[in-house]
Structure 1
Amino acid sequence: MKKIFIIIQIFIIFHPLFSQNLLTIEEAVKLALNNNFSIQIRKNEVEITKNNTSLGNAGFLPRIDLSGSYNTSVNNTNLEFFDGRVTERTGARSGSLNTGLALNWTLFDGFAMFINYDKLSQLNEISKLVLKSEIEEVLLNIYKTYYSIVSQKSIVKLAEESISISRDRLNLTSLKTSVGSASEIEALQSRVYFNEDSSNFLNQKEILKSLKIQLNNILARNPETEFDVVDTIALNQNLMTNLNFEDVKRRNTHILISEKNIAISDFDYNIIKSNFLPTLSFYGNLGYLNSYSDAGILKSNTQTGYSLGLNLSFNLFNGFRNSNDLENKKIISMNNQLNLKQVIENIHSAFTINMSNYKKYLELITLEEINLSVARQNLDIATERLNQGVSTPLEFREAQQKFFQANNRLINAKYLAKMMESELRKISGLLIFDY
């Protein structure tokens, strides 16, 4: 037991002396934006859709193919002509070299190429919104973990203060017991309370360590990286007056993505409509041919030339597939519109609930601050009564626990208020505006 007491004493005295780098919430966010793996993956996906948004992928540019072939053969040849001539060759060689350059260029495809380019541009915009959504999720996770650490840091300090009080009570009771003014039971109770607080302190320190490891993981850095955080949670008291749902609808990432999906379904519908129009394409071919033979009518043959032309195609009937596709695209568009309405309703509901909770926690903070002040006064009175010998250690312990419970409730109310604030900023599309 004495060893535990000494370890706790040494830890409490010296742990503030170990220097740790202060990590602010702004620095944590910047680290995540640069290092977080999920964000990096989404950034790469944006680059892919950006690369895909090109005139070539949309169908504006021609296709040019280069082809070539060469073959050779060796044959024993015996030729008899109508005029009586006979040609006989053993091991006669023959071969040919053939090269060509072909160009195919769609000049008109029912405006599908224009629609495809607009669709690719919209897909690129969607990928940017998906990236924004991923960043919002990561930042919200950072806020939750970072301010959990801030709260836990305060809880550890409370646990440390509780040990200090219990140690003083233990020393006082031991002194009283030695002079006969306190019973052995009181001394044992003081020892039990001190041990409880020591155990709680170690547990709270371990929770703090685990939270820091979680944050390091989000920031994609060594889990053992040591750092400190700020001491208090700052709240935006003006948030409720600055937010309204009309602004939320214009900025919310999920609503914007749903709107873009409607645009994509409209593009798909118009692409199917383009199948009802004719297609006009231009083609050109440039060729070179060289052949030779040791036996035959011609010893060699060389040809060069080109050809040009236009192709016009107009589908008259394909088993109603285009009509069926149009109907299906209409249904998909209707579903996307219904999905948008559902997303708006879900966001509106979440916005209303979080706003109500945020207001509740702000009011709760005020109430718990009053409760803490009362609990502090109660503890001071209980301390004085215990010193005067007019109250029992059990009564003092109860006052001590009520004081720390009031502290914990205040810490928790501030944390929950900050979480509601962060959720509201995310819903409103404001969470990443500062970074």
Structure 2
Amino acid sequence: MKTTTLFKTLLLFFSCVSMTNAQEILTIEQAMQIALENNYEIKIAKNYLKIEETNVAAGNAGMLPKATATVVQNNNLQNLSQTRTDGTTTSLDNAKSNSLNYGVGLDWTIFDGFKMFAKKDQLKELQKLGETQLRLTIITKISDVQEAYYNLVQQQQQLSALDTTIVISNQRLTLAQNRFTIGKASKLEVLNAQVDINTDQVALLRQQELYANSKLILNQILARDTPMDFRVSDEFLISEKLEFAILKTEAEKQNPQIQALLISKRVAELALKQIKAARYPTLKVNTGYNFAENESSLGFTTQSSARGLNYGFSASLNLFDGFAQKRNEKIAGIQIENAGIQIAQQNQALNTQLATAYQTYLTNLELIRLEEKNQEIAQQNLAITLDKFRIGTITTIEFRTAQLNYVNAKVRYSDAQFQAKLSEIALKELAGIINF
């Protein structure tokens, strides 16, 4: 009896080892690195940042001159009749005339009330906003990767628990069959053991399905081929030394959402500065070199040409625009005020989220310790129950109860670790210190 049971246990063990060796072991560090390289949302955010970096240019702020080259040609075909002052008349059918003008010109705004400098600073702030948005995207995606990864760790541990209960159920069936053979048990005991094995196998199949689907989800986040198979670590790495005061300080300095709102307020302030620039005069200089050629079949001048340099300047000052300037400044001021309100609102929300997440974190750490003790007790109880069942001093119902208690204790312990890890990830995400 013991030899048969040992053989089945070893067979299952080596089968699991063979399956493990055939699959890639994906670490959490590898998963995060793959996400940084492949994730589509991170790639899009990086491209948006490239756009903002490209926009930071003196020409985009209006600081550089504009040079243009122009060519204009006109051709006419007309029936003309002219009467001169001396009374003579001249006429010509299909008279041709044409003109050709070409040249280069340069326009340069040399003063616009410092608007161009405010625009350049605003472009730099928008680049910083792009960097912050990229960091927010990366933190969010890395958080998703970690949650999906440790969900797989949990699913893997639960698969192990169900594998264990099937081994135990097989031992129970073997014992029941042996007892029935020697006349110490009824056929009903054998049937009950077989039913329980079938129930355990159904639970195992469901868990395998959930595990496989969780792999597909992680592969999707990593932007890999979804059928790619792999295994994850068998353990949770949980930090138990997070301190609320440190997390709060880091959140105030590094939380991407707060940083984005601070930058947005600075952008609004620079927008107001650009609007106020309209109160100052605008001074432009211009110069150019032009060529002109004209031909006519009829007239006092049948051909002319000219070339030369032109230069000058222009100045303008808004004297009255229907109070539009005052209205625009007032609206820009309100937008700055709203940006400040949004910062205060986000700070309050962040502090609330941090406080609640930290309390959940502490509770989950305590639950880990409790569930670990429960698992140890359930394991001891199962070992004692199994010995008693072998000698026939307890019923099959009592044995099944001890078996299920042990499996449920392992599942609850795994879930407690997973929930604690989720709490840790959430806290680090809020504080902007999540590792990647």
Please give the range of the TM-score, normalised by the shorter of the 2 chains.
Answer: over 0.9
Q: 2:368 and 2:328 mapped to 1: Cα distance?
A: 59
The alignment partner of 2:102 has SS state of strand
Do structure 1's residue 44 and structure 2's residue 47 form an aligned pair? yes
Do structure 1's residue 424 and structure 2's residue 436 form an aligned pair? no
Matching residue within 309, 313, 318 for 1:310: 313
Matching residue within 293, 297, 304 for 2:296: 293
Q: 2:68 and 2:185 mapped to 1: Cα distance?
A: 102
Give the direction of change, closer, same or farther, for the CA distance of 1:82–1:258 in structure 2 (3 Å limit): closer
The alignment partner of 1:92 has SS state of strand
**Structure 1 letter corresponding to 2:160:** K
- Asked if structure 2 preserves the Cα contact closer than 8 Å seen for 1:95 and 1:291, the reply is yes
Aligned residue number for residue 338 of structure 1? 341
Gaps of 5+ in 1: none
In the comparison of the two structures, how many residue pairs are matched?
A: 427
TM-score normalized with structure 1 length? 0.93
Matching residue within 218, 223, 228 for 1:225: 228
Matching residue within 11, 15, 19 for 1:16: 19
Aligned residue number for residue 126 of structure 1? 129
Kindly state the Cα deviation for residue 241 of structure 1 after the two structures are TM-superposed: 7.5
Q: 1:218 and 1:11 mapped to 2: Cα distance?
A: 32
Aligned residue number for residue 258 of structure 2? 255
CA displacement, residues 248-295 of structure 1 (integer Å, 9 cap, x when unaligned): 201111111111111111111211211111111112232211011232
Kindly state the Cα deviation for residue 159 of structure 1 after the two structures are TM-superposed: 0.7
The alignment partner of 1:22 has SS state of strand
Matching residue within 82, 87, 103 for 1:100: 103
CA displacement, residues 313-354 of structure 1 (integer Å, 9 cap, x when unaligned): 111111111111111122111111111011111111111111
Give the 5 Å matches for 1:41-190.
41-83=44-86, 87-190=90-193
Worse overlay, 375-384 or 77-86: 77-86
Aligned residue number for residue 216 of structure 2? 213
Kindly state the Cα deviation for residue 86 of structure 1 after the two structures are TM-superposed: 5.5
Kindly state the Cα deviation for residue 90 of structure 1 after the two structures are TM-superposed: 4.4
Kindly state the Cα deviation for residue 11 of structure 1 after the two structures are TM-superposed: 11
Give the direction of change, closer, same or farther, for the CA distance of 1:13–1:130 in structure 2 (3 Å limit): closer
Matching residue within 405, 413, 416 for 1:402: 405
Q: 2:304 and 2:374 mapped to 1: Cα distance?
A: 106
Give the direction of change, closer, same or farther, for the CA distance of 1:246–1:18 in structure 2 (3 Å limit): closer
Kindly state the Cα deviation for residue 49 of structure 1 after the two structures are TM-superposed: 0.9
Give the direction of change, closer, same or farther, for the CA distance of 1:63–1:272 in structure 2 (3 Å limit): same
- Asked if structure 2 preserves the Cα contact closer than 8 Å seen for 1:93 and 1:293, the reply is yes
Q: 1:41 and 1:256 mapped to 2: Cα distance?
A: 20
- Asked if structure 2 preserves the Cα contact closer than 8 Å seen for 1:97 and 1:289, the reply is yes
- Asked if structure 2 preserves the Cα contact closer than 8 Å seen for 1:12 and 1:160, the reply is no
Matching residue within 280, 283, 287 for 2:283: 280
Matching residue within 362, 366, 374 for 1:363: 366
- Asked if structure 1 preserves the Cα contact closer than 8 Å seen for 2:247 and 2:427, the reply is no
Aligned residue number for residue 243 of structure 2? 240
- Asked if structure 1 preserves the Cα contact closer than 8 Å seen for 2:250 and 2:432, the reply is no
Q: 1:395 and 1:76 mapped to 2: Cα distance?
A: 119
Worse overlay, 381-390 or 296-305: 296-305
The alignment partner of 1:58 has SS state of coil
- Asked if structure 2 preserves the Cα contact closer than 8 Å seen for 1:247 and 1:428, the reply is yes
Worse overlay, 27-36 or 360-369: 360-369
TM-score normalized with structure 2 length? 0.93
Worse overlay, 8-17 or 372-381: 8-17
Q: 2:270 and 2:82 mapped to 1: Cα distance?
A: 66
Worse overlay, 117-126 or 57-66: 57-66
Do structure 1's residue 350 and structure 2's residue 385 form an aligned pair? no
Do structure 1's residue 415 and structure 2's residue 418 form an aligned pair? yes
The alignment partner of 1:228 has SS state of strand
- Asked if structure 1 preserves the Cα contact closer than 8 Å seen for 2:244 and 2:358, the reply is no
Give the direction of change, closer, same or farther, for the CA distance of 1:324–1:78 in structure 2 (3 Å limit): closer
Q: 1:381 and 1:415 mapped to 2: Cα distance?
A: 29
- Asked if structure 2 preserves the Cα contact closer than 8 Å seen for 1:262 and 1:337, the reply is yes
Worse overlay, 233-242 or 247-256: 233-242
- Asked if structure 1 preserves the Cα contact closer than 8 Å seen for 2:20 and 2:231, the reply is no
Give the direction of change, closer, same or farther, for the CA distance of 1:237–1:104 in structure 2 (3 Å limit): same
Using the aligned pairs only, state the percent identity: 30
Q: 1:150 and 1:270 mapped to 2: Cα distance?
A: 54
Q: 2:229 and 2:352 mapped to 1: Cα distance?
A: 40
Kindly state the Cα deviation for residue 12 of structure 1 after the two structures are TM-superposed: 5.7
- Asked if structure 2 preserves the Cα contact closer than 8 Å seen for 1:60 and 1:106, the reply is yes
Aligned residue number for residue 204 of structure 1? 207
Kindly state the Cα deviation for residue 405 of structure 1 after the two structures are TM-superposed: 1.0
The alignment partner of 1:51 has SS state of helix
CA displacement, residues 186-223 of structure 1 (integer Å, 9 cap, x when unaligned): 11110111001111111111111000000000111111
- Asked if structure 1 preserves the Cα contact closer than 8 Å seen for 2:382 and 2:406, the reply is yes
Kindly state the Cα deviation for residue 71 of structure 1 after the two structures are TM-superposed: 2.2
Q: 1:405 and 1:301 mapped to 2: Cα distance?
A: 103
Worse overlay, 395-404 or 282-291: 282-291
Give the direction of change, closer, same or farther, for the CA distance of 1:376–1:9 in structure 2 (3 Å limit): closer
**Structure 2 letter corresponding to 1:173:** A
The alignment partner of 1:287 has SS state of strand
Q: 1:108 and 1:261 mapped to 2: Cα distance?
A: 27
Coordinate RMSD, CA, aligned: 2.1
Q: 2:247 and 2:63 mapped to 1: Cα distance?
A: 45
